Structure 1
Amino acid sequence: MSSEPAVEPLPTSFLAGLAGSTATGAMIQAHDWASSPLGPPETWPIQLRTLVSLMLGSQQPMFVVWGPAQILLYNDPYGEILGRKHPGAMGQPFLDVWSEIRDDLIPIVEQTYAGKPVQMDDITLIMHRKGYAEETHFAFSYTPVHDEDGMVCGLFCSCIETTQEVFAKRRLVAEGERLRELFRQAPGFFYVWRGPEHVFEMANDAYYQLIGRRDIIGKPAREALPEIEGQGFFDWADQAYASGKPHVGTGVPARIQREPGAPLEERFVTFVFQPIRDAAGQVTGLFVQGNDVTEEKRTEQALRELNATLERRVAERTADRDRMWRLSTDIMLVHRHDATITAVNPACSTVLGWPEQELLGKSILDLIHPDDLETVRTELRRQAEGKTTQHSMSRLRHKDGSYRWISWTAVPDGGLVHAVGRDVTAEKEREAALQKAEEQLRQAQKLEAVGQLTGGVAHDFNNLLQALSGCLTMIGLRAPDTGLQPLLDAGQQAVDRGAKLVQQLMAFARRESLRPEPLDVRDRVLSMSGLLERALRADIHLALDFAPGLWRIEVDPTQFELALINMAVNARDAMPEGGHLRIRAENTVLKPDDPTGLEGEFVRLSVSDTGTGMPAEVKAKAFDPFFTTKEVGKGSGLGLAQVYGLTQQAGGTAWIESTEGQGTSIIMLLRRSRSAASCVEEALPPPAEATRRSGRVLLVEDDPIVASTVAAALRETGYEVAHVATADDALPLLITEVRIDLLFSDIVMPGRLNGVDLAREARRLRPELPIVLATGYSEKVAQAEGIRILSKPYRIDELIQLLDAASGEKEKG
C-alpha cells in the first residue's frame, strides 16, 4: 500500500467561499474539524475539496461520505431531506445519522466502497427524520471516489426525493380503481358504445343485471341485443351519434330476453345517450347511463292503492283515538311544559268533577295536593328534558274539595306532554286498610302471646294466694284470742288485692277464664253511671249516647264494668284541666272484607275524651300488659290490656284513635249475643243461715299447701277428707264402691286427665254425686257445663258454704 499523498494547503479564498456561499458552507467553515477523523480543512485531499465545492454550488440534494469513518458532509437541499437530523448530522458517521435505515444502506455503502457505483430509480426507506416513522422514496446514484492510488476513499451521492410523486401515483391508481369500482357497483346502469356500430366497450353490474348475464363486450349492439331491434333504442342511438346531441328517455318500456330461450320480459328504463368526443370534437361513441325503473312503475299503482288504504286506516285510527279519548275511564290530558292544560277528556269531569271549560288554560299545579307539589315539579322538569314519566303518584283536588290518588304516565312530544292518569284512590284506601289490619293482627298476635303467658302466671299466682289465704284462715281459727287478728285481716286484705290484680291478668289472658252472660249495654252503663261520675272529677262532664235498638252482647259483667272504669280513669288522668268524656254505643254489621278481619253483627262501644291524646309510640304500646306512662305506684299498666282482653274474649277487638293534643277514643267491637243465658252455671249464693253438713269429700288438689289447708278446714267443720293429687289418682276411687259424698277438684293438674275430664267421668259413674270445681285459671272452664265453679283464691268460709249447699241439694234430690 502506498503512503498517504501529500496534501496541498487549502487556499484561503476557498475557506472564505465556504463561509459565505451557503448555510451548510458556513457550518463546514465553523465546524471543529480538528477533533474529527477528517482533520482541519487545510489538510483535506484535493478530491474532497473538489467534491465539497461542487456539492455546495449545486441546487440538487448532494452529500459526500469520506474516509474509513464514513464522515458525512452535505449541502443545503440535502439538509432539508435530513429534517430534524440537520444540522447535527454534519461531520457525523453516515450510518449513525441514518441509524433507522442502517440495514438498508449498509449493502449500498459497502458496494460503493468496493468501487462499484450504485444507481437506483426508486428505493423505499422508513425514516425518522421528523420525529416519527414515515415511508419515503428516493432516486439516487452512489459514485465511488478514488485517491491517487486508485483506492476508494469515499463516495459522492446525488439524490432526488420522490416520495410525493410515488404517493401521487398511488392516489391516481387508487382513484382509478375506485372509479372503476364505483362504475361497476353503481346502482344505475352504465355502458360505453364505440363507433357508429355501437360496439360495447364496457358495462357495469347493473346493466348485466338488466339484460341478463350474456357476453356483450366487443360486440355491436344489434348483434349483442337482437331482441331490442325495432323498439326505438338503436334509432335514438344512431341519431345521438350522428347529431352529437344527447337523447333522454323516461320510463321507456323495453322487452328483453333476460334468460336464453325465455320469453321477452317487459322492463321500464330511464336513460340518456351522451355523445363522447375526441380532442378534435368528433363523436367517437356514446356514454349511456340509466336506471331500471320497473321496483317504481309496478309499485306506482300499488302506492296509489296503499295511499288510499292508509288514508282509510288513518281515518279509522283517528276515529278509534277519538272514541278512546271520549270513552276512556282514565284521565287523559295534554299540557305544556309550564303545566298549562290545553286539552282534557270527559273522564276528567267524571273522576274529578271539573267541567272541561274550567280546566282549559288552568295550571295542573293548582290541582295538586300541597304535599305532592315537589314530586310533580320534579316530573315536569324531567318531561321538559324529554324524559317519560312512568307510574308517578300524586293527589288531585276534586271539585268538591276532596282529593283523588292518580297514577300518571306521561310522554313529552315537542312542547306538549300527553298524560294518562288512572284513579287509584280505592286501591290506596284498600292498601291503607290492609296495612292497618296487618298492624292490628300483629298487635293481636303479640297480645295473645302475652295473654297466654299471663294466664299461666295467673294460675300459679292464684294457687299461691289460695295457699296463703287458707293458712291465714286456719291460723285465725286455731288462735282466736292471741291478738293476731289485725295482722290476719291485713294479710287477708293483701290476698284480696293480689286476687284483684290476678283477676285483671285473667281477663286479659283468655275468654274461657271468665263467666260471660247476655248483657244489655245501655242498662249496664246507665246503672254504673254514678260509679263512673265518682271515678271522674267534677270538672269532667260525662255524656252517654246510645243508639236505639242496641243488641245484647255476651261478656263477663264484672269484667265489662271493670273495663269501663279503667277507660274512665285513663281519660280522667289525660284531662288534668277538665274536659268531656263521651260513651257511645251503636249497632254495626261488618262485611267479610272489613279491615278488622271480623265479620257479622257487633255493638260498637267508644269511650272518647278531650284530653292530651297519645303520641304514636305510646298508642302503639297502649294495649301491652304492664305498659304505663304513669308514675310508679300510680298504675299497673293492666287497665287497657284488660280492655283489649275483654273484647277478644267477647269475639271482637279494640283499637285506639288518638292525635297528640286532640284527645283519644278507645273503640271496642263486642259481638252480638245469640244465647239467653250463660253456658257455665253460676255458683248459687248459700242461704243466709246454711245448714252445716257433713260427709266424705274426695279432695283432688296437686298443690300440697293448698291441699293441706283445705283438708284441715274441712275436717274442722265436720267433713271427712280423702285427698289425692291428680285426677288420674281419683278415677280409680270413683270406679270402686268406696264412699264418696262430694267431689271437690282443681281443674288444672298434672297427668292425663284434668278436673273437667274427672267431673265428666264422675257424672257417668255416679250421676247423683255433687261436684264442685276450683281453678286459678283454665281454658277448660267453658267445657264444665252445669258444674259449680269456685275461683281461686277463695275464702275457706266460701268453700264450706258452697259444699254445704251442694250437699243439701243432693239430700233434697
Structure 2
Amino acid sequence: MQTQMRAHDWSTSGLGSPASWPQSLKTVAGLMLHCRTPVFLAWGPELSLLYNDAYLDILGERHPAALGRPLYEVWAEIRAEIEPLVNQALSGEPVYFEDAVFTLRRKGADEQAWFSFSYAPVDGPDGTVAGLYCNLTETTAKVLAEKNRQAETRRLYSLFEQAPSFMAVVHGSSHVYELANSAYLRLAGRQDLVGKTFREAVQGIEDQGYVALLDQVYATGQPFIGNRMPVIISQPAGEPLEQHFVDFIFQPITGPDGIVNGIFIEGNDVTEHVRTEDALRESKRSALETAQQLNALLQAAPVAIVMADMHGKPLRFNPASRQLWGDHPASESIAGYAERKGWWADGSARHGRQLEAHEWALARALQGEEAPRDTVEIEPFGEPGVRRTILNCGAPVRNIDGEIIGSVIAQMDISDRVKVEAALRETVTQYRTIANAIPQIVWATRPDGYHDYFNQQWYDYTGVPKDSTVGEGWKKLFYLEDQLQAAKNWRHSLATGEPYEIEYRLRHHSGQYRWNLGRALPIRNEQGAIVRWMGTCTDIHEQKLAQEALLQADRLKDEFLAMLAHELRNPLAPIATAAHLLSTGTLDPEGLSRLSEVISRQTRHMTRLIDDLLDVSRVTWGQVTLDKNPLDMKSLVTEAVEQVRPLLQAKAQHLDIQLSPGRSLVSGDRMRLVQVLANVLNNAVKYTPDGGRITLRVVEDDSHLTVCVRDNGIGMSRELLAIAFELFTQGERTSDRTQGGLGIGLALVQSLVHLHGGTVRLHSEGAGLGSELTMVLPRLPRLPQDDGPRRFDAGDALALPPARESLRVMVVDDNVDAARLLGMFVELLGHEVFVQFHPASAIECAHQVQPDICLLDIGLPDMDGYTLARQLHRIPGMENTVLAAVTGYSQPRDKQAAFAAGFNFHFAKPISAQQLESWLADVTRGRESLSTSP
C-alpha cells in the first residue's frame, strides 16, 4: 500500500498531493502503513480513505478504487450503521465495539459480517479533529463458531433433558447441583435444585448415607454403582414421606489436571421393581398368585428381563426383551447364545471384541458369578447394521439349599445416554480445538480464581512447559513492576464479579517482555452465581510502542514550534525597530545606512532559517537531486570554514585543521557537502564555550575519506546520543537561547551524507566532555571525466525586448506594502513602474501600458498568479513579455507549476535586492539570467 499510495493519482482526491498533507496526517498514515492488523484512516471534510495492506482482505474488490475516496462512498451500504459512530469519533470521543454485525456487499451478494473495531479521533494542524483512525478485526468466523457451539450445546442439553433415566451433575466438595434433568427433578420432588448443595436438595438426605457416598467418590476418584438403593423423598406439607428405590451410578468428573471437581449422577427409579419383588416374596404361599405377580412384573418392566433354567434355556421373557432383541430364537442351552451378536462396549482392553457364548451375563450367572453387570453393544435380530448399547445385568437363581437352578438377566437400552455422553465429550473436544485455533491466548479459572486451563497459544507464546502455570504459576511470567497491579485488579474482580481488564508486560518465549491486554469475564449460572472465569491475553506490543512514539513525536513538535517562534522573533525584533526609526524621518545618511545593514542582515538570517526548513523537507521526501562532480575535500573544507569564521572569531575559539597531503577527491554536490561541513562546524562552535578548541581532521584510505570534527564543548548524554539524528532534537539551550537552533541540523547532515553514499556517527564521553562527529564518504581513486551540468547556449535564450536603459515593469501583489516597496526599489533602478494590487486591475493596466516585464505574486485574490500569467500572454503585443514569479511558494513542484504556466523566472520571497538588480540589468541588456531561482 505504501508503494501504491506513492504512485496514486491524488488529483481527484480531496486530500490533494501527499506533499501538501499536514504533518499529523503524514505521521498517522505512517503508523497505519506499519500496522499488521487491518487499519484505515478517514481524513478531511470528505473523510477520504487511506488504508494498510491488512485492510485489503476486508475491502475485497473495492480496492484499489477505494484509495482516497470518501468513506461513505466506499461503504455506502453500511453508511446508516457507521455514520453515528463516525460522528461520535469526529466529535472527539473514541468509539469501541466488539463483534458488531454489518451487512456488506461481497462478491456480488449481501452477507452478514462481524467486526471488532475502534474509532479514534485524530487532530489536524489546528488542534481540531480532522479525521479518525480505525483499527479493526473481522470476527465473523469466531461469532459463527460461537453460534454453532451454542446450538450444539442446546441440542445436547435437549438430549440430556429428555433422557428416560434421571441425570444430574454436582460440582465441588459441597456437591452443588449444576445440572439436573426433568426425570431427576421429578424424583427429587422439586424444581429448584440447581445452585443448591446435595444436603439442601432433599430434606433429611444426610441421614440416608448418600452424602458420605458422594464424599467418597469425590475423595477417591472411584465411581460408585448401587442397585435398588432406598431414597426417602419429602412430599408436600401434610403428606407422608415416600420411599423410592434407585439404581445409582456416581461417576467422578475430573478436570484437565486429573483432579476430581464434580460427580455425574445417573440412575433409574426401580421402586416399582423392588416393590414387585417384595410382593413376590409375600406371595410365596400361593404359587398361582406368585406366577401372576411375576408375569405382571415382566409385562410392566421397562427393561428387558429374561429368566432361564440351569442350562440357559429361556423360560420366560418380557415384551421389552422382544422390543430390544427383535424376534430372537429360543436357545436350548448356553451354546445357543452364539447366535446373538454382541460386542464389549465398556472402554476396557476388550472394547469392540465380540462376546462369545459363555461371556454373556446369563451364562456367567449360571456359573455362580454374582450380579455380573456389563455394558454391551448388540445387533437386534432382523435389523442388520443397527447397533444398540445395553446395560446387561445377570444374577443366579438358587433354591433353598443354595444350588443354582437358573438365572435371570435384565437388559436396559442405554443407547441414548451413551450418545449424550459421547456428544458431551465431543463438545468438550471441539471447545478445546476452537480455543487452540484462535490466535489469542485463552485461559480459564474456577470461581475462586484457580487457573486450571490454558490453550496452546499460551504455551507457544510463553514457552513454558505444559501445566507449569496451573494455579498461581502464571504470576511469575509477569513483569515485576506489573505483578502487584495485576494481582490487585484480579482480586478485585474475584471479589466483585466485575470484568477484569489490564495492560501488562508478559514474558515472551524469546525472553522479551511484551505488552499484552488481559481481559476476563465471569460465567454465571441461572441463579447468577459465578461458575467459571474465561479470559484472554492479546499482544498489543506494537500498538503500545506506536502510542509512545506518537506522544514523543507530539512533544518534539511542540518544542520545535516553540524554538521556531523564538528563532523567527529574534530577527523580527531589530527589523521592527528599524522600521519604527525609519518612520520618524530624523536619521542622517549614516544612520540610514546602518539601519539598511541591520534589515539586510536579519532578513538573510530569516531566509537561512526558511531554507533550512525547506532543505529538510526536500530531503525527507526524497526531492533532492545531487549535482555530482569530482571535488577536492580541501576546497570544501575551506568554503565551510569561511562560513563559520565570524562565529569562531566572535567566541575567540581556536580551530585546528589537519588535512592529508595531496588531493582528497570525492564525488558529490559541492553546495550540499559545504552545507554539511558548515552545519557540523556551526554545531561545534555553538556548543563549545568561548576560548574553546575545535579540531577538523581529514584522513583517507584506499576507498574512503573520513572527516572528524572534535570539540571540547558541553558534550552529550547517552540518551541524547541515541536520538541526536532525529528531526527537531537538540541539546540543552541556555536561558538566553544563544545555543541551539531548530533541531534539524544533524538530521539534515545525516540525510545528505547518506545521499552521497556515506555514513555518520556521533560520539561523546558524557556531559562536559566534548563531542566528536565522524563522516565517512567514498573516495575517488582518480579524477573521472567531468559529467557536469548542461551549459546554456544561444539557442536557449529567451526572446527579450530590445535592449534599452529603461523598461516598463508591472508589479502585482495583494500585499500592498510588499508591492509598493518592490516598486520603489525597481523605480530607484531607473525603470518605469506600475504597481497593481488585484489581478483585474493588472489586466486592465497591461492593456494600456504593454509592460516589458511583469513581477507577479502567486497567491492573489479571485485569480492565482498562474492564471494571471496565462491571460497576460494572451494580450496582443505581450506574447514575449518576460514574466517572473515573486512568491513564498518555493518547493520544486511550485517552480514546475510556474514554468508550466508561462513564467520565465521564479524568485522566492524575500527576493535579494542584489539578485533582482543584477537580473534586471541582464534583462535590460537583452541577456538571459542563468540563475532562475534563488
TM-score, normalised with respect to structure 1: 0.40
- Computing the radius of gyration from Cα coordinates, the structure with the larger value is 1
Q: TM-score, normalised by structure 2?
A: 0.36
Of structures 1 and 2, the one with the larger relative CO (CA 8 A, separation 6+) is 1
